[in-house]
Every structure is written in structure tokens, then in C-alpha cells.
Structure 1
Amino acid sequence: MYLITGIPAAGKSTVAQMLAERLPQSVHVRGDQFRRMVINGRAEMTADPSDEALRQLRLRHSLTAKVIDQYFEAGFTVVAQDVILGDHLTQMIAQIRNRPLHVIVLVPQPKAIAARDAARPKTAYNAWEIDPLDRILQRETPRVGLWIDTSEQSPAETADEILTRATAETQTQEFNARTARHSDSSHTRLHR
């Protein structure tokens, strides 16, 4: 499972789609879809969010986590993406039951974000400014997973890097877990 985050216009949707297309029996879960499902009463996130906006954001993340788990349990490789910043990332990771989970944080430079946003048919930065969001990402988001500066990368290059680094990370974790189990069993045998 892959959970991709970053600020708007970081390339999350494009990279997630490319990554999902490279994986067998895969699904691309777009967390923002749950926000768009609210027809009346939607409270948008702003620089100073209301309690209702935060409640809806937590609901969106909870729904995304449940969908990720259900697809994974049905045998799919899941690539999910959304804007998940600050402590919300830790909460989201805790809500996803299954492992392995590869957390990917896309961190292009603000100038690259501005250029990408200007080139899109929709603009992400009407209620927000890029620099304050980047500060939230850099200062308040826990340093978990793979942080990738994609400023000079194409989406395809980013997808390649994610596959390479996530595979290496998983192999390292599996090796460390086997080594720890072996060490524990050796330690137990020596003290009997």
C-alpha cells in the first residue's frame, strides 16, 4: 500500500495514477473524492478552518483509510493520495490497519508548485498561499516515510523513485524483522 501526500499541485494525483498503472491489480484511491461527495453543507479547509471543516477533513481521512484497507484485503495493491498535513498524517497512518504501508511525501519547492499550479486548468491556490502551506508541511508534518523533492522530476521519474525506494525500504524492514526474531530466539536459547 502506498499513501501519497503533499500540498496542492505537488503532483499527487498524477504520480499516484502512474504508480498504480505500473502495479499489478491496483487501485487509485483519491481522498478528495470524499470531500466532493458532500453536496450541501460542505465546509472547505482554509488557513483558519472552522470546527466543521476539521470534522469533515477527519471524516474524509477516516473514509479513505477504510477504503484503503478494504481494497487491500480484497487483494489489490492500493495507491492512495490526498493532502494530509501535520498531525493528520500520523492519525491517518494509525487508522490504516494493514501493512506494509509506504508513506510518500512529495515536497517540490514552492517555485515549482507555483509553476505547476499556473499550468493546470484548475487552480489550487485561491483560498491558500503556497508558502504558508509549505511551512505547515515542512515544520508540522511528522518526518515519516519517503520525503521526495520532485521539483526537477517528471511524474514518471517520481513514480520510478517511489517504486525503487519503497521496495528497498520493505526489504530492509523485512531483513531487520528477521534479524530481530533470530537474535531474540538465539538470546532465549543461550539463557535456558
Structure 2
Amino acid sequence: MKGAVLLLSGVPGTGKSSLAQAWLRTFPRGLHLPVDTLRELVVSGIAHPSLSADPEAARQFALARRVAFSAAALYAHAGFAVAIDDVIWPHDPDALSAELLGGLSVSRLFLTAQLETVLERNRTRTGKPFEPEMLEPIIRVLHASMNPADFAAAGWQIISSEGKALAHTLETVLKNGAPSRVWERSAAGLESEV
């Protein structure tokens, strides 16, 4: 049986990774593919996000997305649920989805939260190969330009993670159509903030 694929987008700090992992735990087998993590596997020559139109950064993001979609297809065809977590615009995944995810159940979710909330979440990040504050100007620009209405018009489900416990956000996602297998078993204990 083929697995489901969930594409998650949103400004950094909206809780994409936390939600992806919680959603995947509702399945017997789940794979989380954060595009940033794939990019950070580059040992030398990585181009970090910036406000400049850096062609090398754009190329590296495109490569990481292609790897994520290719891996998602392989795992989903093998019965895994897969979550791809990225900062991606409404129509950016269309070509990759058509090319690599055809025949699979694919849901699209855009997470939102207020600017001050995502900035505070970013400030408390750990484990990034760069200082989180370097993302602050990028977050401000993305927050102002990633319009939820544009995502809704392109068929994405829109969910706010503002002030909600992770279990509540996950329950909202599942009630609005994202597939799950074992929600009843996994809902207990998910009380941390997204």
C-alpha cells in the first residue's frame, strides 16, 4: 500500500518540523524530510539563505527540493508516510509533484503564526549551523510576502499554529483532511507548543 505525502510550508518558526514529526507518528512508518536538513549535508560550499538573489543559494535549494521529492516518492511507494518540510511558495512544488509524486496521495499545508511569535521561536532555536538571528530579516520579509490567501487559492490547507498546543494543531490538520492511521494512539502526550 502506498503511503501519504504531506507538503508543509510556512515562515521559519511556524512549527513545520514539530507538526511534521507529530503527524508522522500517526502512522506505523513515517519519514521526515526537512529541506533545510538536506541542504545542511553540504560539507563545503553551502550557500545559506539570504535576502540577496544569490543564484548559488537558489540552485542549492532546488537541488535539496528535488532530493526531498525523489526520496518522498521512493519511501511513499514503499508504504511510508512522508512529510516534506520547506519554505516554499504556492506553485513551486507543482512541477516536482507532477514529475515525482504522481499516483500518490499528496496534501499541502501552509502554517501561519504572528510575526512576533515566529521571531521568538527563531531566537530559541538550537542545532542550526548558523546563528538563528541571521534569519530574522529573512523571516520579516517572508512573513510580509507569504500571503495565506495565495496558498489557499492554490489549494493549500491553511492552519494557524498561533498559541496552540501541538496536539491541537495536529488535530485541526487531521480534521481538515490530512490522512492518518493511528491518531487515537498518538494524540496522548502531545502537549508541547508547536
- Please confirm whether the aligned pair reaches a TM-score higher than 0.5, indicating the same fold: yes
Following superposition, the deviation at residue 88 of structure 1 comes to 2.7
Which stretch of the first structure deviates more once superposed, 67-76 or 26-35? 26-35
Structure 1 SS opposite 2:32: strand
2:161 corresponds to: 150
Paired-residue identity, %: 24
Q: Which has the higher helix share?
A: 1
Which of 100, 104, 128 aligns to 1:99? It is 104
Question: Do the aligned residues in 1 keep the contact of 2:123 with 2:132 (CA within 8 Å)?
Answer: no
Which of 118, 134, 145 aligns to 1:136? It is 145
Higher radius of gyration, 1 or 2: 1
Output the aligned Cα RMSD: 2.3
Which of 149, 165, 172 aligns to 1:161? It is 172
- Does residue 126 (structure 1) correspond to residue 134 (structure 2)? The answer is yes
After TM superposition, the score normalised by the length of structure 1 is: 0.77
Question: Do the aligned residues in 2 keep the contact of 1:8 with 1:124 (CA within 8 Å)?
Answer: no
- Unaligned stretches of 5+ residues in structure 1: 169-192
After TM superposition, the score normalised by the length of structure 2 is: 0.76
**Alpha-carbon distance between aligned partners in 2 of 1:16 and 1:149, rounded to the nearest angstrom:** 14
Cα distance, 1:140–1:155 mapped onto 2, change above 3 Å? same
**Alpha-carbon distance between aligned partners in 2 of 1:110 and 1:90, rounded to the nearest angstrom:** 27
Question: Do the aligned residues in 1 keep the contact of 2:31 with 2:82 (CA within 8 Å)?
Answer: yes
Following superposition, the deviation at residue 54 of structure 1 comes to 0.6
Superposition map of 1:32-181 within 5 A: 32-85=36-89, 87-95=91-99, 96-121=101-126, 124-129=132-137, 130-138=139-147, 142-143=151-152, 144-167=155-178
Deviations 1:133-161 (A, max 9, x none): 11231179543311111112122211111
Equivalent residue pairs, number: 168
Partner amino acid, structure 2, of 1:134: H
**Alpha-carbon distance between aligned partners in 2 of 1:146 and 1:71, rounded to the nearest angstrom:** 23
Question: Do the aligned residues in 1 keep the contact of 2:107 with 2:178 (CA within 8 Å)?
Answer: no
Cα distance, 1:59–1:150 mapped onto 2, change above 3 Å? same
Question: Do the aligned residues in 2 keep the contact of 1:62 with 1:92 (CA within 8 Å)?
Answer: yes
Partner amino acid, structure 2, of 1:20: L
